[in-house]
Amino acid sequence: MPRVLFLVAVNKGNVMCGIVGYIGWREASPLLLKGLKRLEYRGYDSAGIALLNGSVLTVMKQKGSVSGLETDTCVERASMQGATAGIGHTRWATHGEPSDRNAHPHENAAGDLAVIHNGIIENYSALKQELLTEGYLFLSETDSEVLVHLIDWIWSRETSLNLESATRQALRHVEGAYGLCVVSSREPDKIVVARKGSPLVIGIGEGEFFIASDAAPIVEHTKKVVYLADGELAVVTREGYCVKSIENIEQEKIVTELDFSLEKIEKGGFEHFMLKEIFEQPEVMHDVMRGRVRLGEGRVCLGGIADYLDRLKQAKRITICACGTSWHAALLGEYLIEEFARIPVEVDYASEFRYRNPIVGSDDVVIVISQSGETADTLAALRTAKEKGALVMGICNVVGSTIARETQCGMYTHAGPEIGVASTKAFTAQVTMLYMLALSLSKDKSISQSEIALHLRELSEIPEKAARILQLDSQIQSIAERFKDAKNFLYLGRGYNFPVALEGALKLKEISYIHAEGYPAAEMKHGPIALIDEDMPVIIIATHDSTYSKILSNIEEVRSRKGRVIAIASEGDTEVSRLAEEVIYIPQASGPITPLLTVIPLQLLAYHIATLRGCNVDRPRNLAKSVTVE
Ligand code: G6P
């Protein structure tokens, strides 16, 4: 299948969490547990199942892996023998830490209705307020729990409704993304499922049906599947399935034959997790902004720091600590916060900060950035800063991670689990987050309201521009073919694209084992220029911004020493192609936002060079995804 088709498939999906469902003639619980294990590659922090046995609905869920759930439910499973319908979920937390009570399924108070959900309900707090006034009690901190109470409330007010119509009506009140399964012991022979922005597949067996968030748990049982489209709701029984639009109009569905191996499905059809994660970036950027960028109001709403916003704005200085790729995001954070909020920012390697007795006090804010939330040096920097009285804020991807728990305030990037060791989507998620943070810290005197609105509009257009860059994949692959045997690479960028040059070089060395250095383009003449000869590929980021004319001069300098220039330029540029051997054109964007675009071709270039050299890109030698040693 061509790669661009995968892009479409992945773009529609919210990659967090996994869903399985079964209704048929076999015992449901072992099928559900096995299916959940097949989904654990998506990341997990808790798991749960709901089984329907006649008029009895039983929910079992807990923090931790599916294996833990399996062991713990052995006894109960014995008593549930005979349940031939049920739903299951592995959670990758977005709202609320990983815990037993935040695990899915969520139940209503009567215990006769259960819901599992992938995605993010954007208006959950407004819905929750309404349901609280109606007397509903919430047991979890998740956005998903509102769904079960909302369906229950609607169903209880109109007795003419059934599970399907009550779910349909409830979904009309919901904003955000969902892949949803609903079961009730009041109608025990059906599973109601619905999709908007988070994938769902129905597998068709002989007198049995499977439901899942992707085909991985289904493929061993049946190859025949039906993919739900956004805005569709289906009722699945032992006799068949009926798909309707949310407006209750029956939909004709095409049955697709799966020809995928399990491994391919886990990787969404991509060769490697790294490539899949690179291609997920448009959707991830969208998810980071979801519910936070309020275009209509021209402002950013960051719930995780709302109570600390004044203190953050009044900070005398902000220090950002991180490691690896997160440190490169931190450098961009420095540029963005200084530009928009006019607060002085310093960036430290977490490992240096913690050992150099830094001058930090109660007027300071320290931001720690970490994908995993577990990096030992970053955690130690956080603790040092806290001891010295600073306000410590976190930007993490993994919900409930140690860093997320120990910071006083912070935000999650919602990038979904990142499995490739070389970080890609986590980086663009962090930079998107920092862009929003910088704008929300701005004061009236530093930037006008209308300028903020313009920046937010441009940010909201970035996912679509990023998707266009991904379509250049085959061009980048052919560039990789030509340069794959080089021994060294130099990456140059100015201003906002200097940290991108560092990140591009890091990606290449991490996964291809080629020596690569990132440099501020102007610094080239203070050293690296001595290395340039006809064997040295030089990647130069030369997009249209305030440093453009200077970077053209840098390209000339490299060319006159016979260096081989691969340039990243803005669409419509005519100058760069005169000077560079290869040019990758990316959509126009203003300076502060370009890193979200310029980094993507560099990720793809590193990926293709590494695979052409036969390297294991998902598990590069000597590296770990999460470095928990000092
Ligand atoms: C390791 C990973 C990098 C990552 C760095 C920081 O070195 O291989 O990809 O950037 O740790 O990890 P963190 O989880 O703190 O962002």
Instruction: Tell me the average pLDDT across 36-51.
Output: 84
Per-residue confidence (pLDDT) for residue 528, from 0 to 100: 87
C-alpha distances out from residue 189 to 88, 158, 159, 185, Å: 16, 21, 19, 8
| Residues 6+ away with beta carbon under 8 Å from 187 | 162, 163
Q: How far is the CA of 76 from the centre of ligand 1 (A)?
A: 40
| SS3 call for 14 | coil
Instruction: Tell me the average pLDDT across 189-217.
Output: 93
Per-residue confidence (pLDDT) for residue 80, from 0 to 100: 61
Q: In the chain, pLDDT over 90 holds for what percent of residues?
A: 76
User: d(Cα 555, Cα 542) in Å, to the nearest integer?
Assistant: 9
User: d(Cα 295, Cα 521) in Å, to the nearest integer?
Assistant: 35
User: d(Cα 547, Cα 42) in Å, to the nearest integer?
Assistant: 41
Q: Which of 408, 419, 334 is nearest to 372 (CA)?
A: 419
* Better-predicted residue by pLDDT, 119 or 489: 489
pLDDT at 308 over 80: yes
Residue from 274, 277, 325, 418 to probe ligand 1 pocket by mutation (most atoms less than 8 Å from CB): 325
Q: How far is the CA of 532 from the centre of ligand 1 (A)?
A: 30
Tell me: the pLDDT tens digits for 45-100? 889 999 999 889 999 999 988 888 887 766 466 556 789 999 999 988 777 788 89
Per-residue confidence (pLDDT) for residue 180, from 0 to 100: 96
Contact yes or no for 531/525 (Cβ under 8 A): no
Per-residue confidence (pLDDT) for residue 76, from 0 to 100: 63
Containing H/E element for 410? Answer: strand 409-412
Q: Give yes or no for residue 69 CB within 6 A of ligand 1.
A: no
Per annotation, catalytic residue among 12, 17, 181, 223:
17
Identify whether 625 is a catalytic site residue. Answer: yes
Q: Grade residue 312 by pLDDT with cuts at 50, 70 and 90.
A: very high
Per-residue confidence (pLDDT) for residue 177, from 0 to 100: 87
Tell me: the pLDDT tens digits for 230-272? 999 999 999 999 999 999 999 999 998 876 667 767 788 899 9
Q: Give yes or no for residue 323 CB within 6 A of ligand 1.
A: yes
Instruction: Tell me the average pLDDT across 116-125.
Output: 90
Tell me: the pLDDT tens digits for 146-182? 999 999 999 999 989 999 999 999 999 999 889 999 9
Q: Two tokens at 212? A: 């899942």
pLDDT at 14 over 50: no
Q: Tell how strand 537-542 and strand 488-493 pair up.
A: parallel
User: d(Cα 458, Cα 433) in Å, to the nearest integer?
Assistant: 14
SS (H, E, C) 108-168: CCCCCEEEEEECCECCHHHHHHHHHHCCCCCCCCCCCHHHHHHHHHHHHHCCCCCHHHHHH
User: d(Cα 519, Cα 198) in Å, to the nearest integer?
Assistant: 40
User: d(Cα 147, Cα 593) in Å, to the nearest integer?
Assistant: 36
C-alpha distances out from residue 297 to 286, 294, 436, 450, 464, Å: 18, 5, 14, 10, 22
DSSP state of 563: -
User: d(Cα 441, Cα 300) in Å, to the nearest integer?
Assistant: 10
User: d(Cα 330, Cα 368) in Å, to the nearest integer?
Assistant: 9
Q: How far is the CA of 195 from the centre of ligand 1 (A)?
A: 33
